[in-house]
Homo-oligomer: A and B are copies of this chain.
Amino acid sequence: MGAGAASGAGKAKRMPRAVREQQMLDAAVRIFGRRGYRAASMDEIAEVAGVSKPLVYLYLNSKEELFTAVIRREARALVSAVRAGAEPKAPADARLWAGLRAFFLHTAENPDGWSVLHRQARTHGEPFAAEVTVMREEMVAFVTLLIAAAAREAHSSEPELASRDVGGLAQALVGAAESLADWANATEGVSAKEAAATLMNFAWVGLGKLREGERWMPGGMPGGMLGG
């Protein structure tokens, strides 16, 4: 009780607000992530946090605000993780690779937080979905940026990819990443690195060819793009 903050789930009483708040958010992430917003009960959250219910209300006001706080904290953590991986001066492909690795690693290490962001928050009405949308747009913007950077680095003579195409591609990439994160979390023996590699290969190679002007078209060129 002298110097040093208590950490862990001990039954320490009378600790500073900031610490208590984090304990509550930790508990909330866990419960919300596992049970979902509606099924999570303030009772259980308070119990897991090791405090009384009124204290949760004193600090976080309501279930809705608590959930929002959780979403924000987790979103910030994920975005930070992804950003932290990418050195600003590295080439675009290296940055994408680093970002993907960080993404899969973070989601694998924080399954409850990932569940809150990817499943729960988007599943329950407007106050929350918006919160995640903001984060997702940051992600999409990040990827869009990298695609553009890649194009610049290639200083190719081919026409730019239309910005609408870029938007769709970024969406698809982020969606694929999200889906793979779930898959990696659920599938025994699929590591974050493998998931990242799978996606990177797929994305980068396809992206390159697209830039070279190849397209698939209904009716297709005979022999198709698969032909040798």
Contacts and interface: CB of A to CB of B under 8 A. Distances in A.
A190 B201 CA distance: 27
Interface string A152-178: 011111100000010011011111111
B172 A179 contact: yes
A169 B91 CA distance: 25
Contact of A198 (B123, B172, B180): B172
B216 A210 contact: no
Contacts of A173: 176
Given A124-B39, A215-B201, A171 B179 contact: yes
A156 B224 CA distance: 12
A208 to B, nearest CB: 4
A139 to B, nearest CB: 11
A227 interface: yes
B208 A93 contact: no
A220 interface: yes
Q: How many copies does the complex hold?
A: 4
Contact of A165 (B150, B198, B211, B227): B198
A206 interface: yes
A32 to B, nearest CB: 11
Interface in A42-92: 91-92
A163 to B, nearest CB: 13
A111 interface: no
Given A36-B123, A119-B122, A179-B174, A224 B93 contact: yes
Q: Considering the complex of A and B, which 8 residue pairs feature the smallest CB-CB distances, nearest first?
A: A175-B179, A206-B206, A38-B38, A168-B198, A208-B225, A154-B226, A176-B176, A156-B228
Interface of A: 35-39, 91-94, 97, 119-120, 122-125, 150-151, 153-158, 165, 168-169, 171-180, 182-183, 190, 194-195, 198-212, 214-216, 218, 220, 223-228
15 contacts: A38-B39, A119-B123, A150-B224, A151-B226, A153-B226, A154-B228, A168-B190, A172-B176, A175-B175, A179-B179, A200-B216, A204-B226, A205-B206, A205-B214, A212-B228
